[in-house]
Amino acid sequence: MSISVKYFASIRERLNRSEEILDTDGIGTAADVWIRATGEDLPANLLVAINQEHARVSDPVRDGDEVAFFPPVTGG
């Protein structure tokens, strides 16, 4: 069982990868995905999408889901 994880913009550049597959063992939320994938604490301003829909980091993830992380979008 697995979850597809994608990283965008500055997060992708900082982690030096655009995507990966994680085993679902011990993962219950999008926050768990971030922590497992990066080994880092959850950034306060991190945005997440689950299956291409905006979500909260506390939202549950399930086998086969796609979880995407991206920085806040700014404009001017």
Mean pLDDT across 3-7: 98
For domain 2-70, give the fold.
Ubiquitin-like (UB roll) (3.10.20)
pLDDT at 74: 66
DSSP 18-35: SEEEEE-TT--BHHHHHH
Domain segments of the chain: what residues? 2-70
CA proximity to 20, closest of 72, 53, 68: 68
CA proximity to 27, closest of 69, 55, 62, 58: 62
pLDDT level of residue 73 (50, 70, 90 thresholds):
confident
- 38-63 in b/e form (b: 16+ CB < 10 A) is beeebeeeebbbbeeeebebebebee
Cα–Cα dist 17/2, whole Å: 18
pLDDT digits (tens, 9 = 90+) for 11-53: 999 999 999 999 999 999 999 999 999 999 998 899 999 999 9
